[in-house]
Amino acid sequence: MQGDHNVRISYWKAWRSRQIALDFAKGSSGASFNLIPDYLKQLVQANPGTKTALHTEFEDGVGQRFKYLFISIGACIVGYRYLRKVVIVDGSHLRGKYAGCLLSACAQDGNYQVYPLANAIVDGENDKAWEWFLENLLEVVPQSEDLVFVSDCHSSIYYAIAKVYPLARHCACVLHLQRNIKTHFKNKHLGYMVGKAARAYKRYNIMTSNVAESWNAVLREAREFPIKPLVEFIRDKLMQWFSTRRATTCISFDTLTPRVAEIVAANFDLGGWIWRDKSVFGKVRVESLVSHFYTLENLLVAYDMDILPVTDSAPPPVPLEIHTDDVVTDANVELIPPTTRRPPGRPTKSRILSRGEIRMKPHRKKHICSRCKASGHNKATCKMPI
């Protein structure tokens, strides 16, 4: 304001003005909750197979108060059948007026790209919220002994996976394990040994929760939106990804996905093998040595379905239940915002670290004096005689 209009205002006045502008552009944060039931109807109607769940709490004299929301787009559910059964789960804090957390479950496609499966908006990363999220995820990701979860070291995730997915395996992020070791034992060498031990027997190439954290980074700006624009942002981003990746994949004429084909070629060069007509020693085809999850055919099918936008026309009656503590009511009910509020103070833009995780300090390049070639000062303050 001072630079453009020569008007001095306080930081908080500027912040409140920004919030008013955001409400004008995206809608009121409180009123947005009341739009969710109709939006979910339209979303299911436009994208068949989509799974949604809305959990509320009844409060005397107030009505149905929002508690949890779960969404998984139908195209993602179908596409997951053609991906490896490794699911990365993570949570990130919302920065809107009513705070809360965004829980996510992601997979990785055969071209090593992030493949979001489901999202939920809850009151926080606690045992009940994670358990509710995974119970709804069961309809998207069936329980299996071949299923593997990867997450950070949050205790609520450990509790929920053990209760909802007792047959699945659960792996902790290697980076979080290393940071925990460094924090508790004050020994960097032990953290290095933990990383080496974790990679000694490599079941999958997914050793960290970076896949889910990358998806959270994509939603960084939208995490301060009201709830309906946030959900619509997720749907729109997935629609763009599916369209772009499907068009890009159709260009390739190889049997393997582009990324895997590069890795296979690099391994052949590194090992000094004879690669003639894409076969090993002219006998065994290379494609037969690679899992079918990495084939171009599987990648195309994973993105085969379209994700369509939500129309503003009145939707036909679609079955949608709102689960409360005692009863199941019709979706045509007025929703009250949750009781959670954003804590006072300036909202943080950086990711809140998990328990035991430490923030790595960025490497700062030392300034070198152009006159004496020493660090710590510049040419103007150099004491070297001219």
Please give the Cα distance from 8 to 263 (Å, whole number). 57
Whole-number CA gyration radius for the chain: 25
Q: How many CA atoms lie within 13 A of 217 on its CB side?
A: 7
Residues 6+ apart with CB under 8 A from 368: 374, 375
Q: What is the pLDDT of residue 327?
A: 41
Give the residue ranges of the chain where pLDDT is below 70: 1-2, 12, 15, 18-19, 22-27, 181-189, 201, 203-204, 271-282, 312-333, 341-386
Please give the Cα distance from 112 to 89 (Å, whole number). 17
Q: What does the angle CA 52 – CA 31 – CA 229 come to, to the nearest 5 degrees? A: 55
Please give the Cα distance from 183 to 61 (Å, whole number). 48
DSSP run (H or E) holding 299 = helix 296-302
Q: How many CA atoms lie within 13 A of 220 on its CB side?
A: 10
User: Cβ distance 179 to 358 under 8 Å?
Assistant: yes
User: Cβ distance 75 to 301 under 8 Å?
Assistant: no
Q: What is the pLDDT of residue 135?
A: 96
User: Cβ distance 206 to 151 under 8 Å?
Assistant: no
Q: What is the pLDDT of residue 376?
A: 61
pTM of the complete model: 0.79
Q: What is the pLDDT of residue 197?
A: 74
Residue 374 phi, psi dihedral angles, 5° rounding? -100, 160
Q: What is the pLDDT of residue 150?
A: 93
Q: What is the pLDDT of residue 326?
A: 42
Task: Give the closest residue to 50 by CA, choosing from 80, 74, 79, 78.
Answer: 74
